[in-house]
Chains A and B, each alone.
Chain A
Amino acid sequence: MEKYLTVNGRRVSFTDEKNLLEIIRKENIELPSFCYNSELSIYGSCRLCMVEIEGRGILSACSTPPESGMEIKTSNEHIIEVRKIIIELLLANHDRECTTCGKSETCQLQTLARRLGINKIRFKNVMYKEPKDLSTYSLVRESGKCILCGNCVRFCDEIQSVGAIGFANRGSKSVICPSFGGDLGSSECVYCGQCARVCPTGAIMPKSEISYVWKVLSDPKKKVVVAIAPAVRAAIGEAFGFDDGNGTETAGKIVTALRSIGFAKVFDVSFAADMTIVEEADEFLNRLEENKDMPLFTSCCPAWVKFVEQYYPDFISNLSSCRSPQAMYGSVAKKIMPEMFKIPKEDLIVVSIMPCTAKKFEARRPELSKNGVADIDYVLTTQELTRMIEEAGLLFGELEPSAFDMPLGFKTGGGVIFGNSGGVTEAVLRNIVNDNSGGTDKTEQFVFVRGKDGLREVKVNFAGRELNIVVVYGLKNARKILKDIKVDRSRYDFVEVMACPGGCIGGAGQPVYKDLSVRKTRTKVLYESDKTMELRRPQDNPYVQKVYKDYLNKPGSCAAHEYLHTGYKYRKRFNETFEIYKPAKEGNIKVNVCFGNSCMQRGSEEILKHIVSFVENGKYRDRVGIEVSICLEKCFKGPVVKVANRTLEYCTPKAAEEAIQEELMKK
């Protein structure tokens, strides 16, 4: 039987829509809402999507399931008045410095205030703002601009399973903040920045480095080189009013703009992406052959890398040791450009333009610097590039495209598709599969890795066996597959993970979008761009070959390892410890018992009990200090106990006692 309801007197049929809001929006009525986001659970906090349902009164459309025969009015005097009051109340509690806010013009609160014709706020301003949270390289939080819609909290929890921020307090004192009201920098945040993307206002925004870049550009002594990531060309047009542009042409316009702004050379991160593939494919084949540290995890996404470092220390060795394209570009540029320009090393400034907020964090990883100087000096997002183009007064749409500089500006199609989820995998396959001469028809054989789902398993025949590959975006999906891999290490051979939905094209540094179809368009731009490339396989890139020949010998060589590989480290999630016995004086034996989740399940309680009674009975209280830690990051090898400088894995009460006794004997 056909189900129908009426919207403003019009008969509308519906099928399996989950809520009224979806049906009403399909009728081309832009029902206002802050907290409705089709990627996330329904929250119903903003109350703006309220509609009148005959016989039921005013209800929020997002949280009301449709029923046949409903008669709905989406606006009348009463509803409009209610919406206006909501906006007024939000504005009374809002930092209304719109002219100096980075979100001005894309802010949904500003847009709704205009749409609803708010010309006066009848309520007293009760806005309370905390100082800005500037503790990370990636994001800035401003509590005075938060409207408590909870989009950021739900994204962090439901899509990324990180939960770095949450609601705290109650009623008029409610805030959104990291745990214990701390700053983001000391939280578990992986800097993917998707909270900033779903924030309707400017309460969380990517951190800008524009002023530093203008400063070095104005310094006559400095040579400033820049490179743009693949995904940037797929999205910047949106900010200038054309969205499904031709990727190659848009990239050309960006080159013109960047030259005009004053960059000495304009390169393409896709070049470095080609290099990443050549290096990573080599690494993969070696690991496959030796069956060592399998499956291989891609390491291009810095949010994913931090995620593994802090939640899955036992999988760190599975991450590809290859640097990300940004990092390879930085290290190669810092190696070869001073010579080319004939300038001292310190006068070369390397800038990258990325779709990503986590890349700002990556650039400051100490592993990616030489002698204390970072390989990448500044990281701009697509949003910041847009702002710089506007600041320079360039009419982007009118610019004539120009060509990238060589050598780091040449790329193959393999490097361009990196920006899409599945792109890295596809490029690796183009590189390793033998039956692939590089022609269009041959490279198109791997399109099955493409797709819009966040978890895609594919199988490929390779060298007489089947390769099991999984392509993932969204870190919650990554958690799912890591759980499977824990059980069965041989389940997959190759794991590609990008934190952001859709891959880098959906990064938080890209122009803000609300309509999810934007991701589809961006993905298409990169695949179309790939088709227009002369070469499609990364290993065919003549400039990559030349860099190997001149500087790095061959993939996997010592020099390649120095410049193109990196290491990862454990990141302690919890620094909290509590003292059971304080050591009486300096230099006493320190015993640390891990009480993390998995150690606890494996019996750390019994160990602690035993040690305590051993110390009590032996009257060693003045010689032994006992501490409990929440995680010592060896979850696979628990329970873990540290005695002085020794770490005891798979510890037992007896082993701990013996180790303490040994230490006592020494002194």
Chain B
Amino acid sequence: MGSNYSKFETVCRILKENSFDESKLIPILQAVQEEYRYLPKEILVFIASSLNIFPASVYGIATFFAHFTLKHKGKHIIKICDGIACHVKKSNNLINALKNKLGLKEAEYSTKDMLFTIETISCLGACGLAPVFLIDEDIYGQMTPDKAVELIDKIMEQERVK
């Protein structure tokens, strides 16, 4: 529970480090998202109030950039590339296989245990490796559905050991 305070303290620090400057809204949001792994509504309102700008403007920025998310995300984020090259190399099959493996229904993107979140992105800039995806910071190229499921199994195993 103490973590609530330390998180809030961090937000205050971030605001101070950026001198409460509204033109630094994007770096502020980036730093806050790093802390919370998403942008909680209350914190966005707090940021708007502290920077003296409209909450609707903060909401506009937070929804404009794909990088920001207003929903709580899982511990591991899988970003599947669905750019043209990956798409023709059947990235769709990867998406389906992963969703199936994680038991995610049509409009669900995060697992119930908040271990995984699946996202599609427009291009990773690694078209030579298509189809490609990222798990957290690591890139995996020339993927097949089977290989993808294996990777997930491995992470699940590691999490169990922890």
Contact = CB atoms under 8 A, between A and B. Distances in A.
User: Are chains A and B native binding partners rather than an unrelated pairing?
Assistant: yes
Nearest to B41: A180
Contacts of A179: 45, 48, 54-56, 58-59
Interface string B22-50: 00000000000000000011111110111
Interface string A578-589: 111110000000
B1 A576 contact: no
Contacts of A187: 56
A180 to B, nearest CB: 5
Interface of A is mostly: mixed
B59 A578 contact: no
A167 B56 CA distance: 8
A605 B50 CA distance: 12
Nearest to A581: B1
Nearest to B57: A166
Contacts of B2: 616
Contacts of A631: 49
A528 interface: no
A578 B56 contact: no
Contacts of A188: 54-55
B63 A576 contact: no
Contact of B42 (A181, A577, A580, A612): A577
Nearest to B62: A168
A170 B62 CA distance: 10
Nearest to A166: B56
A157 interface: yes
Which among B2, B4, B40 has the highest number of chain A CB atoms within 10 Å? Answer: B4
A630 interface: yes
B4 A580 contact: yes
Contacts of B58: 179
Interface string A594-622: 01110010000100110010001000010
A163 B8 contact: no
A178 interface: yes
Contact of A581 (B4, B43, B46, B48): B4
Given A605-B12, A628-B8, A180 B55 contact: yes
A435 to B, nearest CB: 46
Contact of A170 (B42, B44, B63): B63
A574 interface: yes
Given A597-B49, A600-B50, A576 B42 contact: yes
A169 interface: yes
Nearest to B44: A180
A630 B45 contact: yes
B60 interface: yes
Q: Which of B2, B43, B59 has the most CB of A within 10 A?
A: B59
A275 interface: no
Chain B interface residue bracket vs A: 20 to 34
Contacts, number: 91
Contacts of A168: 56, 59-60, 63-64
A574 B45 contact: yes
A472 interface: no
A596 B56 CA distance: 17
Contact of B45 (A162, A181, A576): A576
Contact of B8 (A181, A574, A578, A630): A578
Nearest to B12: A605
B56 A164 contact: yes
B4 A166 contact: no
Contacts of B41: 180, 576
A163 B52 contact: no
Nearest to B5: A580
B54 A157 contact: yes
Contacts of A163: 53-57
Contact of A580 (B8, B46, B55, B64): B8
A332 to B, nearest CB: 39
Interface residues of A, number: 38
A609 B13 CA distance: 13
Contacts of A578: 4, 8, 40, 42-43, 46
Interface string A172-194: 00000111110000011000000
Contact of A178 (B49, B56, B64, B66): B56
A579 B4 CA distance: 7
B54 A166 contact: yes
Contacts of B46: 576, 578, 595, 628, 630
A590 B126 CA distance: 54
A167 B52 contact: no
B139 to A, nearest CB: 25
Contacts of A165: 56
Contacts of B59: 166, 168, 179-181
A187 B54 CA distance: 11
- Chain B CB within 10 Å, residue with most, of A162, A179, A581, A621: A179
B42, B43, B48, B60 — most chain A CB neighbours (10 Å): B60
A260 to B, nearest CB: 45
A62 B96 CA distance: 48
A187 B43 CA distance: 17
Contacts of B65: 170
A597 B52 contact: yes
A167 B44 CA distance: 16
A614 B105 CA distance: 47
A191 to B, nearest CB: 16
Contact of B49 (A177, A582, A612, A630): A630
A582 B56 contact: no
A141 B26 CA distance: 30
A599 to B, nearest CB: 10
A574 B4 contact: no
B14 to A, nearest CB: 13
B64 A169 contact: yes
Interface string A620-656: 0100000010110000000000000000000000000
A284 B101 CA distance: 74
Contacts of A597: 49-50, 52
A596 B63 CA distance: 24
Contacts of B4: 578-581
Contacts of B53: 163
A171 B136 CA distance: 26
Nearest to A601: B20
Contacts of B49: 574, 595-597, 630-631
A475 to B, nearest CB: 13
Nearest to B52: A597
B28 to A, nearest CB: 14
Contacts of A580: 4-5, 8
Nearest to B55: A179
A628 B45 CA distance: 12
Interface of B: 1-2, 4-5, 8-9, 12, 40-46, 48-50, 52-60, 63-66, 70
Given A179-B56, A580-B8, A597-B49, 14 more contacts: A162-B54, A163-B53, A163-B56, A163-B57, A164-B54, A168-B56, A168-B60, A168-B64, A179-B45, A179-B55, A578-B4, A595-B49, A621-B1, A631-B49
Lowest 5 A-B CB distances belong to which pairs? Answer: A163-B54, A166-B56, A179-B55, A179-B56, A576-B42
8 contacts: A163-B56, A576-B42, A579-B4, A580-B5, A580-B8, A595-B49, A597-B49, A600-B50
